[in-house]
Amino acid sequence: MKNLTKRFFYTLSFFFAVLGASIWATTRQEHLPLNISDGFIITTLFWVVLACAGSIPFYFFGLNISDAIFESVSGITTTGATTIVGLDNLPKSILLYRQLLQWIGGMGLIVLAVAVMPALGIGGGQLYKMELPGSHGNQKLTPKITDSAKALWKIYVGLTLMCAILYLLSGMNLFDSIAHSLTTVAGGWIFNP
């Protein structure tokens, strides 16, 4: 089961890497400015596509399609809600996958995209403004949006590492300290309360 799980994640990662690279290669010459309506569409599609793509591992590990999508959405929105019964009996790879979804969702996938989009020749200012609540969307932490996203990710990774170390020092094993730190910093839950 362990080798099958590993092979599944490698295959799925390879598939999405090839898919993403082919989409990037066919559209990289397009330098179109984004307006506000484009930003809304991209933000919406970002969450819908990522929720569907994120549900694939859950589906192949035995959940029906609605539960798999629920788990994926729960992860990227950091709610931590689950429909899975007996989380302790799942392979560690699936548990870690759930926690990584929450960790990435905790920072906001759009902030990650804003950090990467300029390298692809896409302006992401509208997306950045839509992800920030209230009047904060007009304020910049640093002069460039990319620098702001990078600074936020450095802080987020630093907090996660510090949390994992503190969990490890408090007596948790290595896997649990890493897993719990991913969801603690994101504000999600690992198991049903």
Per-residue model confidence as pLDDT tens digits over 110-161: 565 565 555 545 555 544 554 554 444 444 444 566 677 778 888 889 999 9
Q: Can you tell me the distance from the alpha carbon of 38 to that of 126, in angstroms, rounded to the nearest whole number?
A: 8
The pLDDT, as a whole number, for residue 152 is: 80
- Residue 112's alpha-carbon distances to 106, 182, 190, in angstroms, are 11, 16, 23
Q: Can you tell me the distance from the alpha carbon of 12 to that of 54, in angstroms, rounded to the nearest whole number?
A: 11
The pLDDT, as a whole number, for residue 137 is: 46
Q: Can you tell me the distance from the alpha carbon of 19 to that of 4, in angstroms, rounded to the nearest whole number?
A: 22
Residue 70 lies in a domain: yes
The pLDDT, as a whole number, for residue 141 is: 43
The pLDDT, as a whole number, for residue 192 is: 43
The pLDDT, as a whole number, for residue 170 is: 95
Taking alpha carbons only, the member of 42, 107, 48, 43 closest to residue 72 is: 48
Residue 49 lies in a domain: yes
Residue showing tokens 């609605």? 66
The pLDDT, as a whole number, for residue 66 is: 92
The pLDDT, as a whole number, for residue 145 is: 66
Query: Which residue ranges of the chain lie beneath pLDDT 70?
Result: 1-4, 29-32, 34-36, 39, 109-146, 188-193
Sign of the torsion formed by the C-alpha atoms of 131, 135, 141 and 142: positive
In 3-state terms, what secondary structure has residue 163?
helix
The pLDDT, as a whole number, for residue 61 is: 83
Residue 166 lies in a domain: yes
Torsion of CA 63, 7, 97, 53, to 10 degrees: -60
Give the chain's radius of gyration (CA, Å). Answer: 18
Residue 90 lies in a domain: yes
Q: Cα 156 to chain center, whole Å?
A: 13
Residue type, 155: I
Residue 24 lies in a domain: no
Residue 122 lies in a domain: yes
Number of domains making up the chain = 1
In 3-state terms, what secondary structure has residue 85?
coil
Question: Residue 55 is encoded by which pair of tokens?
Answer: 């549900």
Residue 170 lies in a domain: yes
94, 61 Cβ separation under 8 angstroms: yes
Residue 150 lies in a domain: yes
Residue span of the structural domain in which 102 resides = 2-7+35-186
Q: Can you tell me the distance from the alpha carbon of 77 to that of 87, in angstroms, rounded to the nearest whole number?
A: 19
